[in-house]
Structure 1
Amino acid sequence: MENVKNRWLIAASAVGIHISIGSVYAWSVYTKPLMNQFQWGLKEVSFTFSIAILFLGLSAAFLGHFVEKHGPRKSGTLAACFFGVGTVGAGLAVTLGSLPLLYLCYGVLGGIGLGVGYITPVSTLVKWFPDRRGLATGLAIMGFGFASLIFSPIEAKLISTVGIANTFFILGIIFFILMFASARYLAPPPQGWLPEGFKQKVESGEKKLAVDLSELTANEAVKTRRFYLLWLMLFINVTCGIAILAVASPMAQEIARMTPATAAAMVGLMGLFNGLGRIGWASFSDYIGRPNTYTAFFSIQLIAFFLLPSISNALFFQLLIFLIMTCYGGGFASIPAYIGDLFGKKQLGAIHGYILTAWAAAGLAGPIFASWVRETVNSYSLIMYIFAGMFVVALAISLLIRLDIARLRAKLETARAQG
């Protein structure tokens, strides 16, 4: 008998990669130390993070075919090399006091590692978990969301004890080892493999094996309307979520009259709810379906963003923010499973890469738009109402895509009847 790998260890390997690259969300820990050491401005230091997220989106899009062609082991190793070298290179940039080198190493090289590492485990996990597709992708992407909670205190401690450059050197080596080791275990399941208990239920007729609505290549997928509907849904969800992340503390102080310390504590907890939303919503989507999950995201956030400007009670304000964060994280974690439902597993990684360009675009658009509106009208209320309006559009799109799904199901039923 063929020695089949343990799918839960495959999931753990995926988490290992995502926890490493998710440390990018703890970038703000470096901000003040870098500003103090080199007298660089806030915009100059923060631009490193923007470059990294931009190249995450670009590399996910352009290297998605590499992931599909060469498999998760090689692409995971490539991600380990880029992210590890990029982080160590950031240490060299700090040693030399070179901002352009920091942009090149952490922003460009690290960003490429981010993009390849982000999509590498996803299509593999979907194949290992035909019975719990949402749970599988949610587990890995949860690691990305929780990483800032894990690495922020570690980075702060290291910076205070060994300095900024050595922190980059130490973490770069740790990230490389963890990602490289995780990539070595990643592999797709044997052809036609099903989990033992699930296989018996399918054979007995107790359970039906879910059939994807189509099996398309990435190039075929981008020619369909449903691809762009998915792209727009993710773009709106991420734009509003990232904007909230960017302005949460000052907005809480202005609207809910929270103290700076309480607002800072709220921002820390937002990371927790971001991570919980990834595993919670993605797992729940296995039961209620991906179309219902996204309709729920947009309905909840439409109401939450509309209510936020009028909430002066600090506790209720925070509850709404945390609810929004679960939907923000859940949107990331549920999208790979939705892609699998609509386009199949043939080139899921490459299609996921194309869809993630919505993240790159939103990462630039969200914070810039929120800051511009705040400076123009001197109020966060208008921003919240605009975002509520955007979720009306997103809700309409989540209902419109159901027409495509219904048409595909009808086509599939007709083919079954004829075959």
Structure 2
Amino acid sequence: MKNRWLIAASAVGVHASIGSVYAYSVFKNPLETTYGWSSSSVITMFSIAIFCLGLSAAVMGHFVEKHGPRRAGTVAAILFGGGFLIAGIGTSIENLYVLWLGYGVLGGIGLGIGYITPVSTLVKWFPDRRGLATGLAIMGFGFGAMIASPIFNYIMETISIPATFFIMGSVYLVVMLASASYLERPPEGWMPDTMKAAVESGAQEVKQDLTQMTANEAVKTAPFWGLWIMMFINISCGIGVISAASPLAQESVGMNAASAALVVGLMSLFNGLGRIGWASFSDVIGRGTTYMAFFAIQIVAFIWLPSIKSALLFQVVLFTILTCYGGGFATLPAFIGDLFGTKQLGAIHGYVLTAWAAAGLAGPQINNFLREATGSYETPLYIFSGAFVLALVVSMVMQAYIKQARAKLAIQTQQAHA
């Protein structure tokens, strides 16, 4: 029997590697100035990666369930690490389309497979603390950019842009292959010793999931689409800020490029802390209440952000947004388990993450279009705040559904024991 905490560490290894995609904004200005590529062309590289992430997560969810986390993780490592290497070739020969192919298409597909592979496995290893488990793995994704951002910047400044892709692609390939080799599912119905003893003694009751559905059954339900809408809005608005974080900090409060790069890295720290913090907290207050908190906080934060002139206050509000953004991802797998069970959690997770694919196209492009049309980031931030009002309404409806379904399930359980 493998150690579940080492399984969690392996999951963090995979997610910390692929999470470097959120250090993308560090590449934006160097790619534009070095090769003369337009802002929209460079942003397209990031949009393609997120789009392919969402689609591959949806399509390959069944592959993960069928072949297991070790094989799926290996495939993810080859595609993501290899994508970085091809991106290095693209920048070496100054070919934008090869860069899109490597970083965007292949890297994005590796992102999608690598993202869902350890998460569905961890939920099964931590039946007693689902939120904590998914928060641990997805925390690594948030921390990935914090680690990568200064390293990317350093290699670009001291060597070159192609060297950055070649060196880091090789590193990610090794780390992800090593991490994937330890991933494995627990036996069916497995529980940790302390939980098993508590259940057998009657001191603890196993909390039932509302249903046990396949992915194709779940996608036909209203709660699935409620999750999809909430994630689409949370991701679109968050990515809109993340993709422009470095230039936004320079424009709004006058930071230089090096300071802005540091902000990008610190954003990733709070992105990661929000993932473990909010996901663990959701074990206490419930997933529905957690999402309502995300949206209420961000309605205020997005309205406030463009008027801030203090660099310190700007960072506090920005980092708060990032905790909610990261928390949305980390709480999602546990929410899916609560609603639809663990029967095909990986596949259902992949289906919901098509919202990430759509948001990857919508968020950066809307932000960039409005920025170029208005000359500032103020208008897109106000529009994003309005979108969070809709997300809050959906989350309230979801919370009402959960309470009703829990009450119905309790009655059915009592009748079955009568």
TM-score (norm 1): 0.91
Which residue matches 2:184? 187
1:164 to 153, 161, 177: 161
**Following the alignment from structure 2 to structure 1, what is the Cα–Cα distance between the partners of residues 383 and 268?**
24
Q: 1:35 to 1:391 in 2, by over 3 A?
A: closer
Instruction: Give the superposition deviation at 1:305.
Output: 2.5
SS of equivalent to 1:337: helix
**Following the alignment from structure 1 to structure 2, what is the Cα–Cα distance between the partners of residues 98 and 253?**
28
Which residue matches 1:362? 359
C-alpha contact 2:145 2:265 (8 A) present in aligned 1: no
Q: 1:65 to 1:407 in 2, by over 3 A?
A: same
Instruction: Give the superposition deviation at 1:31.
Output: 4.0
2:134 to 111, 121, 137: 137
C-alpha contact 1:121 1:186 (8 A) present in aligned 2: yes
Q: 1:78 to 1:266 in 2, by over 3 A?
A: closer
Q: Deviations over 1:2-31 (max 9, x none)?
A: xx1100000011011111111222234444
Q: 1:150 to 1:345 in 2, by over 3 A?
A: same
Deviates more, 1:32-41 or 1:45-54: 32-41
Q: Deviations over 1:10-55 (max 9, x none)?
A: 0011011111111222234444554455443343333222211111
Structure 2 residue identity aligned to 1:185: Y
1:24 to 21, 26, 41: 21
Whether 2:71 is the aligned partner of 1:74: answer yes
Deviates more, 1:409-418 or 1:212-221: 409-418
Whether 2:255 is the aligned partner of 1:242: answer no
Whether 2:16 is the aligned partner of 1:49: answer no
Q: 1:306 to 1:104 in 2, by over 3 A?
A: closer
Instruction: Give the superposition deviation at 1:174.
Output: 2.1
Which residue matches 2:300? 303
C-alpha contact 2:147 2:265 (8 A) present in aligned 1: no
**Following the alignment from structure 2 to structure 1, what is the Cα–Cα distance between the partners of residues 162 and 249?**
34
Which residue matches 1:148? 145
Structure 1 residue identity aligned to 2:204: K
Structure 2 residue identity aligned to 1:200: A
**Following the alignment from structure 2 to structure 1, what is the Cα–Cα distance between the partners of residues 279 and 268?**
17
**Following the alignment from structure 2 to structure 1, what is the Cα–Cα distance between the partners of residues 31 and 309?**
36
Which residue matches 1:10? 7
Instruction: Give the superposition deviation at 1:168.
Output: 2.6
Which residue matches 1:327? 324
SS of equivalent to 2:190: coil
Is there any run of 5+ residues in structure 2 with no aligned partner, and where?
Answer: none
Which residue matches 2:228? 231
Which residue matches 1:93? 90
Indicate the percent of aligned positions where both proteins have the same amino acid: 61
Which residue matches 1:411? 408
**Following the alignment from structure 1 to structure 2, what is the Cα–Cα distance between the partners of residues 119 and 276?**
20
Which residue matches 2:281? 284
Structure 2 residue identity aligned to 1:109: L
Q: 1:41 to 1:391 in 2, by over 3 A?
A: closer
Whether 2:50 is the aligned partner of 1:58: answer no
Q: Deviations over 1:44-84 (max 9, x none)?
A: 33322221111111101111111111111111111112112
**Following the alignment from structure 2 to structure 1, what is the Cα–Cα distance between the partners of residues 340 and 41?**
41
Q: Which runs of 4+ in 1 moved over 6 A?
A: none
SS of equivalent to 1:185: coil
Q: 1:30 to 1:382 in 2, by over 3 A?
A: closer
Q: Deviations over 1:315-353 (max 9, x none)?
A: 333322221111111111111111111111011111111
C-alpha contact 1:249 1:260 (8 A) present in aligned 2: no
**Following the alignment from structure 1 to structure 2, what is the Cα–Cα distance between the partners of residues 365 and 288?**
31
**Following the alignment from structure 1 to structure 2, what is the Cα–Cα distance between the partners of residues 79 and 137?**
19
**Following the alignment from structure 2 to structure 1, what is the Cα–Cα distance between the partners of residues 316 and 50?**
28
2:339 to 313, 338, 342: 342
Instruction: Give the superposition deviation at 1:310.
Output: 4.6
Q: Deviations over 1:114-168 (max 9, x none)?
A: 1000000111100101111111111111111111111222233334455433433
**Following the alignment from structure 1 to structure 2, what is the Cα–Cα distance between the partners of residues 308 and 29?**
21
Which residue matches 2:217? 220
Is there any run of 5+ residues in structure 1 with no aligned partner, and where?
Answer: none
**Following the alignment from structure 2 to structure 1, what is the Cα–Cα distance between the partners of residues 96 and 243?**
23
**Following the alignment from structure 1 to structure 2, what is the Cα–Cα distance between the partners of residues 412 and 348?**
20
C-alpha contact 2:122 2:133 (8 A) present in aligned 1: yes
Structure 2 residue identity aligned to 1:75: A
2:387 to 381, 387, 390: 390
**Following the alignment from structure 2 to structure 1, what is the Cα–Cα distance between the partners of residues 309 and 102?**
44
Instruction: Give the superposition deviation at 1:407.
Output: 3.4
Instruction: Give the superposition deviation at 1:411.
Output: 3.5
Task: Figure out how many residues of one structure are paired with residues of the other and give that number.
Answer: 415
Structure 1 residue identity aligned to 2:342: K
Whether 2:81 is the aligned partner of 1:84: answer yes
Q: 1:113 to 1:200 in 2, by over 3 A?
A: same
C-alpha contact 1:13 1:186 (8 A) present in aligned 2: yes
